[in-house]
Structure 1
Amino acid sequence: MRNKKPFTITQVSADGRFGLERENLRVDPRGTLALTPHPLAFGDKLTNSEITTDFSESQIELVTPVAHSVQELFAHEKRLTKTIYTGINDELLWPLSTPPSLLPAEDQIPIADFGRKGQDKTGYRVYLSKKYGRIKQLYCGIHFNFSFPDHLFPNQDACNRFYLNLVANALRHRYFLVHLLSASPERIESIPYRSVRLSTHGYKNLEPVYPDYSSPQNYIDSLRDAVERGVIESPRELYQLVRIKGTGFEDLVNAPKAGRIELRIADLNPLFRAGINPNDLYLMHLYLLWCAQSDASEFTREDQKEANARSDEAALCTVTDSFSVKMNALFDALLTFTRSQSLPAAYESALNDARARWIDRSKSYAARVHSELKREPSAAMHWARQMKNAYLSPCRSAH
């Protein structure tokens, strides 16, 4: 049981600090994974705070600076995307979360090399490659980061409890975003998935980790226990689609100091030249605002197992009646919330856009991507070239 009632904010606004991380694989003009080193144009991957690599040397990662609105965040992403396209010469960015079929042998997939000063980062990637395999690490996605204004919290303890409860709520209902933001359809073992990356075949710890959300200290202690038992190397290996970021929560050493929440759900979306529908930035933010105001309740091990199962179901192409009931109820709750808080019109517009994709399943990202790939197997390369041309051609602009 909780010793203290989780702190909740009394007033919601669109204010806060936003950030975005986007991963893409670099491919050559034939669609084969680029085995070239991280481009010199971007300098040292260890010290460049905006353009670096993720797991692989071939996996470029864009990291926006802190923004104070969705519009500013999107502007940063577009600016950095153009910089990347300028620096990769004739290479392209693979537009899907699922890696291309033209991959080298697994042991030839290059692990990111961060040099002598970055030995810990390189060593961690070697560890992941041995534990999970290199191909799985090539799945790419988008991480949406948000932190609420500091003035909302009377002290750090209230802030910590607030974010912990927020993460629990966001994980409990994450099936909503998993279903709507899936855009990498694939069939595995005769089962069609909306997103392999978000499915049971995607990022999963080999042994499930069920943190204790009853208090910040209990949460940290539960992760420390998982590390001591060898289940995970550190909190950075906690493969959850929603995570709490901040000292203590990430290093297990310092006093807990929650800083932001990280949504690791959105697939790369090849239907939009920035890799994401701008409306979905508002949708994710709206979702977090709603979760912040949702009633607090325990998030036990059994609750987490149930949420995991529902999230896995959301990544499937099939939709059950019981799942539809939950989705419809959450759409209604979000619409009521949006109007009660008098949020800018962009939020209701984003919600309506998502509902249209939900009502007409043929309009979902996964269905549209599947249809295009079935019609034209080389559609991914067409999208890749189209995206690059949109950013580098002075006669065209990115959506």
Structure 2
Amino acid sequence: MSAYQQAVERLQQPAWQSALTQLNRGIEREALRIQADCTLAQNPHPHALGAALTHNWITTDFSESLLELITPVYSDPDQLLGHLSDVHRFVLEQLDQQRLWPISMPCFLNGEENVPIAQYGHSHIGRMKTTYRIGLSHRYGAKMQAIAGLHFNFSVPKGLWPALGVDAEDQAGISERYFGLLRHFRQHAWVLAYLFGASPALCRSFLGEQAPALPFEEHQGTLYLPYATSLRMSDLGYTNQAQDALSVSLNSMAEYVRDVKRAIRLPSDDYAAIGVKENGEYRQLNSNVLQIENELYAPIRPKRTAHSGETPTQALERGGVEYIEVRALDINPFSPNGIDRDQILLLDLFLLDGLLQQTPSMDARSVEENKANFEAVVLDGRRPGKQLQRDGQTVSLADWLGELFERFALLAPVLDQANGDDRYQQALAQWQPAVTDPEQTLSARALAQSLELGHGRWACDLAAKHKAWFAQQDYQVLNQQQLEQASSDSHQRQAEIEAADQGSFDQFLQAYFERQGA
């Protein structure tokens, strides 16, 4: 019996059955507000949605028009999706004729100047958030920052750690195991791009006058790569060439924190040329390669809920890894919520599989191999017979993915036994055909629709269908009064923050970066 089979067999013991039903998950879904004609909404974040600075469930990302809808942590996937659906319904009710763009890649933006940067009020922290985004617009362009994704937060309950061979009171051991999951994820991130990538095409208008950096084919204004899975995760989207020289280790928490701290202090000649402050107005927070830690683009991050004034790495140093944040997920255009139940369950299997593995440290060769595999699948992953590299050897994508699904097939019945149904085996069966047939992936379905209808029209029609769908839904976890109260409370909290500020904004920033050691 393999070590993996032994680990799975250990999970089957009655002592761990209850804990297996308590996996912790949260979702952050981004979506652009659009007008009925599908052009980008230009009005400020609607007052009825609350204060973006302080609302727990409804905020904005880069743009005033780029909503971010957030769930708390749930152990029940149906409650998780119910909460997300309730927030969607409430938001769309407040938007009148506006809708939510249902895919990751934007369209109909009409230029950089028409992507309004998010505003967070007059407090020091609110101004800092806006200034950070102004810096992003100068560094990477506002259109690139309007690309939407979905983040999936995951952790296992305290009661499950002994089943994984870790003392539940040993936070260092828990952090170490989570970093093993991070390494496993980086080696297998291509799996999520292949299965769940849903951005193989984009509108020609998104590039404007810019010459395409990729060898696109074009059909009726739709640019696409025939076998692409996730252009969002390619050099076209959320990568940062200025960060290519950064090397942030996932071999231990100490190395990770060391490298991130080093990165936020690393100066950039290119960003210095932008200028930090001109005529009394900030153009960016600083001219380092990273303005703040959040600018470090990564497909997965170790996280701990930060206290007020703490940076993410300071929170990790204080308490260790609390959960991981998967950031490599495209919006699922076929789900009004942007993700469906079977995806969540498959993510459970994928991440639990990573926790059960003893993933070795990564050297420079493995880091480059992982990066090359991910890029290959993002741009060309559905090509029949696609080959990847594993430990320096060539392996077919289908064979490698088939091996993973064989492990998932061992794990799924254990989770189903704990939950008293067959949800995980059903989810696995739903996605099994995609292992050998790339046409069963989200990106293949999305590309077929894009080419048949035209990318913009397809997405525009979906936005209308999703709005109509939410209008027919009953509230499941929340209710109208709770959502209205949450918006009202957020405005009050923002006012309190603004009233409590002391000193100047310059002094606030200086103190913030001194606390970082930057």
TM-score normalised according to structure 1 size: 0.91
Aligned pairs for 1:194-233 within 5 A: 194-206=229-241, 207-208=243-244, 209-229=246-266, 230-233=288-291
The DSSP-based 3-state class of the residue aligned with 1:21 is: strand
- 1:174 is aligned to 189
- 1:294 is aligned to 357
Aligned pairs for 1:109-124 within 5 A: 109-117=115-123, 118-124=126-132
Tell me the distance in 2 between the aligned counterparts of 1:303 and 1:361: 26
Are 2:89 and 2:470, in contact at CA under 8 Å, matched by a contact in 1? yes
Tell me the distance in 2 between the aligned counterparts of 1:178 and 1:130: 28
Deviation of the 1:154 alpha carbon: 2.2
Residue-by-residue CA offset, 1:209-237 (whole Å, 9 max, x unaligned): 33223322121011111122133233311
Are 2:23 and 2:156, in contact at CA under 8 Å, matched by a contact in 1? yes
Residue-by-residue CA offset, 1:93-133 (whole Å, 9 max, x unaligned): 00010001x11221231110111221121111111111111
The DSSP-based 3-state class of the residue aligned with 2:467 is: helix
Residue identity in the other structure for 1:393: Q
- 1:363 is aligned to 440
Are 2:233 and 2:239, in contact at CA under 8 Å, matched by a contact in 1? no
Aligned pairs for 1:43-58 within 5 A: 43-58=50-65
Tell me the distance in 2 between the aligned counterparts of 1:340 and 1:24: 35
Deviation of the 1:82 alpha carbon: 0.6
Residue identity in the other structure for 1:390: W
Mean CA deviation greater in 116-125 or 28-37: 116-125
Are 1:249 and 1:256, in contact at CA under 8 Å, matched by a contact in 2? no
Deviation of the 1:340 alpha carbon: 5.6
Q: Which runs of 5+ in 1 are unaligned?
A: 1-7
> Residues 94 and 211 (structure 1 numbering): CA distance in 2 closer, same or farther, change over 3 Å?
same
Deviation of the 1:244 alpha carbon: 0.6
- 2:301 is aligned to 243
The DSSP-based 3-state class of the residue aligned with 1:244 is: strand
Deviation of the 1:86 alpha carbon: 0.8
> Residues 82 and 325 (structure 1 numbering): CA distance in 2 closer, same or farther, change over 3 Å?
same
Q: Which runs of 5+ in 2 are unaligned?
A: 1-6, 162-167, 203-211, 217-224, 267-287, 388-395, 477-518
Are 1:25 and 1:33, in contact at CA under 8 Å, matched by a contact in 2? yes
Residue-by-residue CA offset, 1:346-395 (whole Å, 9 max, x unaligned): 11221221122333322321111111122112121111000000111369
Deviation of the 1:296 alpha carbon: 2.8
Residue identity in the other structure for 1:384: A
Residue-by-residue CA offset, 1:72-103 (whole Å, 9 max, x unaligned): 11111111111111111100100010001x11
> Residues 249 and 172 (structure 1 numbering): CA distance in 2 closer, same or farther, change over 3 Å?
farther
Deviation of the 1:249 alpha carbon: 7.8
Aligned pairs for 1:70-89 within 5 A: 70-89=77-96
Correspondent of 1:161 among 176, 186, 202: 176
> Residues 116 and 333 (structure 1 numbering): CA distance in 2 closer, same or farther, change over 3 Å?
same
The DSSP-based 3-state class of the residue aligned with 1:65 is: coil
Are 1:55 and 1:111, in contact at CA under 8 Å, matched by a contact in 2? yes
Alignment partner of 1:92 is 2:99: yes
Tell me the distance in 1 between the aligned counterparts of 2:341 and 2:453: 26
Aligned pairs for 1:1-399 within 5 A: 11=11, 13-100=20-107, 102-117=108-123, 118-151=126-159, 152=161, 153-186=168-201, 189-191=214-216, 192=225, 193-206=228-241, 207-208=243-244, 209-229=246-266, 230-246=288-304, 247=306, 250-252=312-314, 254-317=317-380, 318-319=382-383, 320-321=386-387, 322-339=396-413, 342=417, 344=419, 345-377=422-454, 378-393=457-472
Residue identity in the other structure for 2:116: P
The DSSP-based 3-state class of the residue aligned with 1:18 is: strand
The DSSP-based 3-state class of the residue aligned with 2:465 is: helix
Residue identity in the other structure for 1:215: S
The DSSP-based 3-state class of the residue aligned with 1:160 is: helix
> Residues 389 and 129 (structure 1 numbering): CA distance in 2 closer, same or farther, change over 3 Å?
same
- Root-mean-square deviation (Å): 2.3
Tell me the distance in 1 between the aligned counterparts of 2:128 and 2:261: 19
Mean CA deviation greater in 386-395 or 113-122: 386-395
TM-score normalised according to structure 2 size: 0.71
Are 2:194 and 2:441, in contact at CA under 8 Å, matched by a contact in 1? no
Tell me the distance in 2 between the aligned counterparts of 1:30 and 1:298: 51
Residue-by-residue CA offset, 1:143-177 (whole Å, 9 max, x unaligned): 11012213432222122212222212112211111
Tell me the distance in 2 between the aligned counterparts of 1:186 and 1:394: 31
Deviation of the 1:252 alpha carbon: 3.9
The DSSP-based 3-state class of the residue aligned with 2:102 is: coil
Percent identical residues: 28
Residue-by-residue CA offset, 1:278-313 (whole Å, 9 max, x unaligned): 210111111111100012311223322211111111
Tell me the distance in 2 between the aligned counterparts of 1:256 and 1:238: 21
Deviation of the 1:256 alpha carbon: 4.6
Tell me the distance in 1 between the aligned counterparts of 2:355 and 2:347: 12
Tell me the distance in 1 between the aligned counterparts of 2:175 and 2:43: 43
Residue identity in the other structure for 1:373: S
Mean CA deviation greater in 132-141 or 359-368: 359-368
Residues paired across the two proteins, number? 388
Residue-by-residue CA offset, 1:316-355 (whole Å, 9 max, x unaligned): 2443142222222222222233346656521122122112
Residue identity in the other structure for 1:211: V
Residue identity in the other structure for 2:231: V
The DSSP-based 3-state class of the residue aligned with 2:318 is: coil
Are 1:212 and 1:300, in contact at CA under 8 Å, matched by a contact in 2? no
